[in-house]
Structure 1
């Protein structure tokens, strides 16, 4: 099911029309701009719960070529995770990010070769939307089961 095409404006929120449970897959195809960073959040629509934040930093907040994962629940950010096999993003180079929702967390893959996981901080059923921030143009966002 295609959720949105041409998400050029930022920030841009897309509501999910279904309950997110293990087995759902989110695919985003985008192209980073020449910007210090871009971020996307899987979130509850009131923005008080962010089960997964992926913050791609080319050169921001003291990090260079780093993908930072985190979550926000109960009014607090969790512990950032930056462990990764490599840095899969480059300005002006299209990427395909896939997020698989599992029983334990999220499996993130970029272009089929970069892979990291993030454990659930809350039930995936709390996810009602995805938010994209500036620094990247998304050609498409799809949701599969």
Structure 2
């Protein structure tokens, strides 16, 4: 898969939406087609009774546009109602329980919607949840995402679909590899399958409010930081005092030369962030909040990376591999 956030956003790649206000209504660039995935990270309010995510055939109203998928968690009954609106009339509700209710009040969540030829598939917090057969068969009509209710949205990201050159229908992400929702900091996990060209690491969370100093994300060739330390193929280290993102590598117990230049410093105390690290054959490339920031040429074989380590003045909401 191509890196999703190159400067200028290549054809078929839609810029992510960061921390939008709710209610939210926004376009889906190039519409919905088989292989399109929508990633939504957010938080359910402590007093939430419900919220909804709609895939719509337009915005505005009245009259209301047709709604191809209405995904509506309801906390009183602990059910997720699914439905379709056509010509101002709702169809029959689907609310069968797949065995669990994946949302909790006062909790973060990630929802993924995958469009396939005959149905939508929805996953929540790393687990496949439901399928919903298309009732609006002309997928090209679906062009708008709308979210409303008692929730806060951190980020919305789009991937895949027929508009991407040479794209094929994408499988639902391999949930054997995550995501980890609200993991503690420090955080350490194995990088199952290692780093290979095209592999991406997604790290999202909040910077601490009170005088944050720094944090770091390491791709290491072994666990821990005790002596003797394992080699670190990539050390990504935002430092708030100097407003710099320091990059480095550790080999044979020695740090190399630091790289510090960045177009800007995107982290703020109390602010939400999403870091994406892409491994390519020549370098690691990093995007922050949907904007390509830096690249770090490999100083050690990326094939030796087997551990992700995160420490410092942040609170994590999610760690995911793709």
Distance 2:83 2:67 in 1: 8
The answer to whether residue 87 in structure 2 is matched with residue 69 in structure 1 is: no
Shift of 1:76: 1.3
What's the secondary structure of 1:133's corresponding residue?
Answer: strand
Partner SS, residue 26 of structure 1 = strand
Report the CA distance between 1:113 and its aligned residue: 1.4
Gaps of 5+ in 1: none
Partner of 1:54: 71
Matched residue, 2:10: none
Q: TM-score, normalized by length of structure 2? A: 0.42
Higher RCO, Cα 8 Å, sep 6+: 1
Which residue does the alignment assign to 1:138?
Answer: 153
Q: Quick one: distance in 2 between partners of 1:132 and 1:104? A: 23
CA distance in 2, matches of 1:74, 1:13: 20
Structure 2 counterpart of 1:20: 32
Structure 1 residue aligned with 2:120, among 106, 115, 140? 106
Output the CA distance in 2 between the equivalents of 1:138 and 1:2: 16
Distance 1:21 1:121 in 2: 14
Q: Is the 8 A contact 1:4 1:14 kept in 2?
A: no
How many residues align structurally?
Answer: 140
Larger radius of gyration: 2
Runs (5+) with no aligned partner, structure 2: 1-13, 161-322
For the residue of structure 2 that corresponds to 1:68, the secondary structure is: strand
Write out per-residue CA displacement over residues 66-87 of structure 1, whole angstroms, 9 at most, x where no aligned residue. 1000010132111100113210
